[in-house]
Amino acid sequence: MGDSLGTRPHPRDFRLAQEIARRHGLACEDIAPIVGHGSVNHVWVTGAGAARSVIRFAIDPLRTNELEVEAWCLDKASTAGIPSPGVIAQGCLRAVPYLIETFVQGASGNERRSPELWRTLGSYARTVHSIAVTDDAPAALFSRFGRDLHEAWKGHLAYNVAQLTPADPLIALGVYPAGKQERLRAALTELNDADPAFGLCHGDLSLRNLLVPDTCDPVLIDWGSASAGPLPFGDLLPAVRGHRLIDDPSSAELEAFAVGLGVRLEECWNTLESLLLLDALDLVRWAIDQRPDRLHDSIAAARACIESLGCS
């Protein structure tokens, strides 16, 4: 997972990482954070050389289930032949869930940036989508609309269409102007004809989540954003969103990703734009209902997406 190590962790988190390492018989004297992999989880490396391991636990105390998702997905990815870290241990200490993984030596994909790496990500995504979402899949893999993926999709869409009324709180929050509501309604209603397949998505396919060793295939990491939902859109949408907002991936990289995924972008572009609108609106509605502490950021992200699609 690279060798960019920090030197000044918070003492509380440092002690917790040490206790986790000690619990599992790992070296705990030379433990240090991995810089650049800590926006969602604290990520620590312990040990030396081939004996190194990675310890992860959540930064946000309200995010307690991503590691359960990650552990389940890593097991399935290994079985499917996707190069990924191995799971050493999973547990909970002081009410903090944690995951211990094997350390992967490799450069970040961002340091080896190329359309070919994006094509590799696309081919990995295609394999991810073939993984069966079995009955033992953790609840956090599913949306708030339930485990039946077809019914959840219909419920997700119907809920967001029904919210588009003159009293929609998103208007007062400045997410979109009232005059654009019919345009949004038309876009979401068109999705009734999309008829997607459903399955597992990684949810955060990007070069920062690809490690490139010198002697073997690139390794896919950070499965905590994985979800069960419509295919191939759960992995295609984040790439399209990044391309539209910050040109990452670039046009050539996005096309290479689509080739690896086996998708012709021009054939599904209208659906992708409607799904971007759906996700932007639903993100804010989710924050209002379940995470008001994230409402401000959700509104900003939704506004940026809606503006890029000409609906602001």
**Cα torsion 61, 53, 107, 30: sign:** positive
Tens-place pLDDT, residues 174-208 = 999 999 999 999 999 999 998 899 999 999 999 99
pLDDT band at 277 (very low <50, low <70, confident <90, very high): very high
Tens-place pLDDT, residues 80-124 = 999 999 999 999 999 899 999 999 999 999 999 999 999 999 999
**Residue 218 resides in a domain:** yes
- What pLDDT, on the 0 to 100 scale, is given for residue 50? 83
Instruction: Using DSSP, state whether 131 is helix, strand or coil.
Output: coil
Are 22 and 159 contained in the same domain? no
Are 25 and 174 contained in the same domain? no
- What pLDDT, on the 0 to 100 scale, is given for residue 311? 80
Are 175 and 266 contained in the same domain? yes
Instruction: Using DSSP, state whether 311 is helix, strand or coil.
Output: coil
Are 130 and 265 contained in the same domain? yes
Amino acid at 162: A
Are 301 and 175 contained in the same domain? yes
Tens-place pLDDT, residues 143-184 = 999 999 999 999 999 999 999 999 999 999 999 999 999 999
Task: Give one DSSP letter per residue of 44-107, joined into a string.
Answer: EEESSGGG-EEEEEESSTT--SHHHHHHHHHHHHHHHT---PPEEEEEEETTEEEEEEE----E
**Residue 199 resides in a domain:** yes
Distance CA 307, CA 278 (A): 14
**Residue 1 resides in a domain:** no
Are 178 and 278 contained in the same domain? yes
The pLDDT of residue 209 is above 50: yes
**Residue 39 resides in a domain:** yes
- What pLDDT, on the 0 to 100 scale, is given for residue 35? 64
**Residue 23 resides in a domain:** yes
Are 210 and 153 contained in the same domain? yes
- What pLDDT, on the 0 to 100 scale, is given for residue 195? 87
* 8 Å CB contact between 188 and 157: yes
Amino acid at 311: C
* 8 Å CB contact between 75 and 87: yes
pLDDT band at 36 (very low <50, low <70, confident <90, very high): low
**Residue 242 resides in a domain:** yes
The CATH number given to whatever domain includes residue 239 is 3.90.1200.10
Are 246 and 152 contained in the same domain? yes
Number of residues that this document lists for the chain? 312
Domains identified in the chain, total number = 2
Backbone phi and psi for residue 44, each to the nearest 5 degrees, phi listed first = -125, 150
Are 20 and 159 contained in the same domain? no
The CATH number given to whatever domain includes residue 60 is 3.30.200.20
- What pLDDT, on the 0 to 100 scale, is given for residue 7? 38
Are 273 and 231 contained in the same domain? yes
pLDDT band at 9 (very low <50, low <70, confident <90, very high): low
**Residue 230 resides in a domain:** yes
Whole-prediction pTM = 0.90
Distance CA 199, CA 142 (A): 10
Task: Give one DSSP letter per residue of 199-267, joined into a string.
Answer: EEE-S--SGGGEEE-SSS--EE---TT-EEEEETHHHHHHHHHHHHHH--S-HHHHHHHHHHHT--HHH
Amino acid at 310: G
Give the structural domain span for 81.
11-105
Are 15 and 161 contained in the same domain? no
* H/E segment holding residue 33: strand 32-33
Are 175 and 239 contained in the same domain? yes
* For residues 39-43, average pLDDT: 78
pLDDT band at 71 (very low <50, low <70, confident <90, very high): very high
10 or 294: whose pLDDT is higher? 294
Mean pLDDT over the full length of the chain: 91
Tens-place pLDDT, residues 212-269 = 998 899 999 999 899 999 999 999 999 999 998 899 999 999 999 999 999 999 999 9
**Residue 270 resides in a domain:** yes
- What pLDDT, on the 0 to 100 scale, is given for residue 41? 82
CA distances, 143 to each of 230, 283, 296 (Å): 11, 12, 21
